[in-house]
Amino acid sequence: MDNTRRAFGLLLAAGTVLLSGCGGGTGNGTSATTAAGPVAPPATIEAVALPGYVHGYTLTRVGWYAYDAGHTTAPLIANVQTSLDERGAVAGYYTIEACADCAYSEATKGTPTYSAADDYCIGRDGRMPCPSQDTAMNAAGTTAGSELMGYPAYDPYSAVPSYHAYAGATDLGTLGGSSSYATGINAAGQAVGYSDLPGNKDAQAFVSSQGIMTVLAVPGSVQSRASAINGRGQIAGYATPTGSALTHGFFYSNGTFVDLGEGEANALNASGQVAGSNNAGAFLSAADGGALQSLGAGSAIGVNAAGQVVINGAGPFVWDGTAQVDLNAIVAPGDPLAGQVTLTEVIAINDSGQILVKGHDRTGWQLQFLMSPPPISDQIVFLLRTVGQAGSASNLPALLRQAQDDNAAGDQSGTCRALAAVESAIATDTGLELPAVAARRLAVEVHVMMSMDACTY
C-alpha cells in the first residue's frame, strides 16, 4: 500500500451496552492525507519502578463494581468511572438496583438521584432519560456521553435501542441513523465520536460545535471513529479502508488527515501527540501526528501534556519518557492502601499526572482508584537528590533550589519560571553528567510539575 496516501478503516470493537449498535456511511474523500513517519525501535518494559523514579503516588478510592452495604448506599450497586478531568474529578455512571430497565445513570460531580415517578435519572446536567453514561469530561467539568432515547417505550426484548450522543445537557442527535456515541470533548465544548448514517450500515466519525454534529469524512474509509479532540480542534481516531477489515489510526488537523498506519489511535494531548496501539504494541507520535515511537507491548489509551502515556498490557503501566513503569510499584509505601490492593487496568491520565485505574482488594472486590503524584515540594527534593550526584559543574541544583524557595513561598508564577528554566537547562546544561535516557525522564517529571502548578508551557 502506498504510504503517502493510505486508506483508513474501523473495526468497531464490542464495548459496554451503551457502545453497541453502530451504523453506516462513507466519507467524501475531499481531505488531503499524509503519512506518519517510521516506527522507532521498541522500548524496554520495566516491570518495576525505575531506580530513582518517584515512589510517592497516593490512592483514593473513587469507584466500585459490586454492591456492598458496607461501602455504598442502596439502591446503588455499582459506581463506575470512565473519565477524568484536570482537577481530578471523575465521571462515569451508576448502576441502579431499583430499576430493571434503567441500568445506567449519569455519575458526574453531583450525586444523581433516581425518580421512580417518571423513570428519569437526575444528574449534574439536569433531567436525562436513563440509561446514560458519561464517557468523557473536559477541564470545565462538562461531560459527553450517550443516552438511551425513547425510554420507557423501549422494550429490551423486542426493539432495537437508539442512543444519542450528548455534550453537557445538549442532545447532539445523529448523522441520520439510529444512534450516535460521544467519545471526547474539549474545553470549548466541541465533542467527537461516531454516528450511524441513514441506513445504519457503517458508522462514521463526527465532530460537533455548538451542538451541531457534522461528519468527519476520513478519505477512502467505509467506517470511522473519532476517539479524542484537543483544545486546538485536532482529532485522533481510527477507520477501516474500503475492502479491508484492518483499522488504521488517523490524526486530523485543519482539513488534513495523517495516516498513522494499521492500528488504533486512542488518545491525544495538547501538542497533537497521539497514543494508541498497532501490531508492534503501544505507540506515541511526535507532535501534530508526527513520527511514531514504539513504547513496547500493550495498548496506549491515554497521554497527557507532559508526554506521559498510560498503557494496558501485562498490567497497568505509565510511560515515563524512557520506559514503562508498573503502577503498582510507585504507590507510596506509607499509603493506607499500599499492599492492600492490586492495580490491574488503567483508564485515563490527566495533565496533572493523576491516573484513573482499576484494581481489586484481597477479597477480589473490584474497585477504582485515583492515583495522585507527590506534591511539587517532594518532587523537587527528589530532583535535587538526583542532579546533586550528576556533576558539580551543573547549574541545575541552583535552579531547582530557586523553584523550591518560590514554591515554599506560594509564588506560583515564580515557581513556573524556575521550573521552565530547569526544563530548558536539562536540554542544554553541559555540566549535567547524566545519560540521555535519565535526562529525558527528568524532563518529563519537570513537565508534570509544571502541569500540577498550572504553568503555561
Structural domains of the chain in order of their starting residue, each with its CATH number: 17-372 (2.130.10), 376-452 (no CATH)
Q: What is the mean pLDDT of the chain?
A: 77
- What number is the average pLDDT over the span 26-32? 38
- For 328, what's the count of Cα atoms within 13 Å in the CB-facing half-sphere? 18
Instruction: Using pLDDT thresholds of 50, 70 and 90, give the confidence band for residue 32.
Output: very low
Three-class SS state of 197:
strand
Q: What span, in angstroms and rounded, lies between the C-alpha atoms of 283 and 105?
A: 34
CA distance 398 to 384: 9
Instruction: Report which of residues 112 and 385 the model is more confident about.
Output: 385
Span of 37-51, 167-181, 210-224, 386-400 with lowest mean pLDDT? 37-51
Using pLDDT thresholds of 50, 70 and 90, give the confidence band for residue 2: very low
Lowest mean pLDDT among 81-95, 120-134, 328-342, 434-448: 120-134
Predicted pLDDT at 394:
73
Contact between 298 and 314 under an 8 Å Cβ cutoff? The reply is yes
Q: Note the pLDDT of residue 149.
A: 72
Q: Could you tell me the pLDDT band of residue 66, with boundaries at 50, 70 and 90?
A: low
Give the residue among 73, 19, 49 at the shortest CA–CA distance from 330: 49
Strand partners, 299: 312
- The grid coordinates listed for 329 are 510499584
At residue 77, the pLDDT reads: 60
The pLDDT value recorded for residue 181 is 95
Q: CA geometry: angle at 447 spanning 310 and 423, to 5°?
A: 140
Question: Does pLDDT of 109 surpass 90?
Answer: no
Instruction: Give the range among 14-18, 383-387, 399-403 with minimum mean pLDDT.
Output: 14-18
Per-residue pLDDT band at 119 (split at 50, 70, 90): very low
Confidence of residue 250 (pLDDT cuts 50, 70, 90): very high
In three-state secondary structure terms, 161 is coil
- In this structure, of 99-113, 229-243, 368-382, the range with the lowest mean pLDDT score is 99-113
pLDDT digits (tens, 9 = 90+) for 290-308: 999 999 999 999 999 989 9
In what helix (H) or strand (E) does residue 113 lie, and over which residues does it extend? strand 113-115
Chain segment 365-375, per-residue pLDDT in tens: 888 999 999 88
- Contacts of range 439-445, beta carbons closer than 8 Å, 24 or more positions apart: 440/321, 440/322, 441/50, 441/53, 441/320, 441/321, 441/322, 442/383, 442/386, 442/387, 443/321, 444/306, 444/307, 444/308, 444/320, 444/321, 445/54, 445/320, 445/379, 445/382, 445/383
- Region 101-125: what's the mean pLDDT? 40
What is residue 148's predicted lDDT score, i.e. its pLDDT? Answer: 75
For residue range 308-366, list pLDDT tens digits in order: 999 999 999 999 888 898 999 999 988 999 999 999 999 999 998 999 999 998 888 88
pLDDT at 426: 83
With 70 as the cut, is the pLDDT of residue 1 above it? no
**Of how many residues is the chain composed?**
457
